[in-house]
């Protein structure tokens, strides 16, 4: 048994399956006296760490009060040119100034934030005398904001913190405002930064990265371009599915993961076809939140570990890569633990009564692929630029990714190569 950034997990598939299934039963047994029972009870312990959440239409108006409550006087507002063009930055700055704050704006962030961008952002943060850090944007903006926060109190280079629990000192208070419905970065203990020398993504996992406050205003989702709506929605679906089958899942994460799957499969296409359908936007905002709360506590799996490598190599949209890879990983993991996919299938609307678990998992994989088709995601990685010659390197770096630790099935380099080739 080991601890992954505050999450109790087991090292073997069978044990993790047994303890996961028995979690509610163990809760009812009361104090145990035997050593075996004590181990069983300790194995189901999990810390559920989430920010304060301000949720609902118009909640962006609360951003100033949130920063003020955290001691802010000169907030460092991290965003990107797209949010400026959409008008959300002007609105946010107005709310910050209305409560007497003097924000400093930094927007030199690109998709899949780069190591040198984060370090440049930190230099501006340090020179400006700012305090609270506010991230307004998608996952790239929020990850960059977290990177600036890490360097402000820990120093060094941002890539020094790749892996689990390497951020030793507390970071400045953070307020995050997501503008997409999928990354979950506004509630997570993750930051993913691109190493521009090695062309890989580095995953930083630390409980210090969970923001103090997440402000979720579904109005911001209405200005996403279609490709980003599709990518982030599939990212959220991947979060929910991987969290549910993770070795570190718990009853607390399971309920959020299942509800997120239900919301996404029922609403993502509606947001793509009818972008102004606010009921669907509200559902996707909640789905992103719940999937984020699930995966930040249960961690993820092989899909994300693989996707990070493709994104680092090609600067490809993370959620699009997830959409291509997820059906293949579902089939692979279901070979070891098909029963775990039954509840996921039911949440997605698949009939499960009397259906063998392996068949439910296969249907779930097909449903995910069909959803990806409906929102315009390519069928293979080759169309994104991945070549057969890239596979050996991608497979080796995948095994180093922190997300692989909680995949429900043991994986070796040959398995990852096979998955990549199937997804080409």
H helices of 222-350, in order, are 226-245, 251-273, 278-298, 302-314, 318-334, 340-347
* Cα–Cα distance for residue pair 192/144, rounded to 1 Å: 8
CA distance 334 to 206: 29
Both 216 and 251 in one domain: the answer is no
Which of 221, 252, 281 is the C-terminal boundary of a domain? 221
Structural domains counted in the chain: 3
Segments forming the whole domain that contains residue 263? 225-423
CATH number at residue 57: 3.40.50.1970
3-state secondary structure of 414: helix
| Domain match, 298 and 209 both | no
Residues 296 and 407 in one domain: yes
How many angstroms from the chain centroid is the CA of residue 296?
7
**CATH number of the domain encompassing residue 320:** 1.20.1090.10
Task: With beta carbons less than 8 A apart as the criterion, state whether 40 and 20 touch.
Answer: no
Of 18, 112, 53, the C-alpha closest to 296 is 53
297 & 324 share domain: yes
Per-residue DSSP letter, 173: P
Q: Are 125 and 270 within one domain?
A: no
3-state class (DSSP) for residue 285: helix
Asked whether residue 229 falls in the same domain as residue 214, the answer is no
pLDDT in tens, the chain (424 residues): 344 555 544 444 433 333 333 333 333 233 333 344 433 444 567 779 999 999 999 999 999 999 999 999 999 999 999 999 999 999 999 999 999 999 999 999 999 999 999 999 999 999 999 999 999 999 999 999 999 999 999 999 999 999 999 999 999 999 999 999 999 999 999 999 999 999 999 999 999 999 999 999 999 999 999 999 999 999 999 999 999 999 999 999 999 999 999 999 999 999 999 999 999 999 999 999 999 999 999 999 999 999 999 999 999 999 999 999 999 999 999 999 999 999 999 999 999 999 999 999 999 999 999 999 999 999 999 999 999 999 999 999 999 999 999 999 999 999 999 999 999 9
CA–CA separation, 339 vs 363, rounded Å? 13
Same domain, 209 and 253: no
Please tell me whether residues 31 and 60 are part of one structural domain.
no
d(CA 421, CA 424): 5
């Amino acid at each position: 048994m080991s601890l992954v950034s505050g999450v109790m997990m087991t090292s073997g598939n069978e044990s993790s399956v047994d303890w996961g299934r028995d979690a509610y039963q163990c809760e009812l047994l009361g104090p145990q006296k035997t050593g075996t029972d004590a181990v069983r009870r300790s194995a189901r312990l999990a810390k559920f760490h989430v920010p304060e959440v301000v949720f609902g239409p118009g909640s962006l108006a609360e951003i100033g009060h949130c920063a003020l409550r955290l001691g802010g006087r000169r907030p460092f507002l991290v965003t990107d040119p797209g949010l400026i063009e959409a008008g959300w930055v002007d609105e946010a700055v107005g709310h910050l100034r209305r409560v007497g704050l003097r924000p400093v704006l930094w927007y030199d962030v690109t998709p899949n934030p780069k190591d040198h961008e984060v370090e440049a952002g930190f230099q501006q943060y340090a020179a400006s005398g700012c305090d609270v850090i506010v991230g307004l944007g998608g996952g790239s903006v929020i990850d960059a904001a977290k990177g600036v926060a890490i360097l402000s109190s820990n120093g060094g280079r941002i890539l020094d913190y790749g892996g689990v629990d390497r951020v030793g000192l507390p970071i400045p208070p953070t307020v995050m405002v997501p503008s997409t419905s999928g990354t979950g970065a506004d509630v997570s203990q993750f930051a993913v930064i691109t190493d521009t020398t090695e062309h890989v993504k580095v995953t930083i996992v630390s409980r210090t990265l969970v923001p103090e406050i997440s402000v979720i205003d579904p109005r911001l989702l209405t200005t996403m371009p279609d490709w980003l709506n599709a990518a982030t929605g599939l990212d959220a679906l991947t979060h929910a599915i991987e969290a549910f089958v993770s070795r570190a899942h718990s009853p607390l994460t399971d309920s959020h993961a299942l509800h997120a799957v239900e919301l996404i499969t029922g609403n993502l296409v509606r947001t793509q076809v009818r972008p102004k359908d606010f009921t669907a936007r509200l559902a996707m905002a909640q789905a992103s939140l719940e999937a984020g709360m699930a995966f930040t506590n249960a961690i993820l799996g092989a899909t994300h570990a693989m996707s990070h490598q493709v994104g680092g190599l090609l600067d490809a949209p993370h959620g699009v890569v997830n959409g291509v890879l997820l059906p293949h990983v579902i089939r692979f993991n279901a070979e070891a633990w098909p029963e775990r996919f039954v509840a996921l299938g039911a949440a997605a609307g698949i009939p499960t009564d009397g259906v063998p678990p392996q068949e439910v998992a296969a249907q779930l994989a097909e449903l995910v692929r069909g959803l990806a088709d409906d929102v315009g995601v390519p069928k293979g990685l080759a169309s994104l630029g991945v070549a057969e010659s890239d596979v050996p390197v991608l497979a080796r770096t995948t095994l180093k990714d922190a997300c692989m630790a909680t995949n429900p099935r043991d994986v070796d380099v040959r398995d990852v190569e096979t998955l990549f080739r199937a997804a080409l």
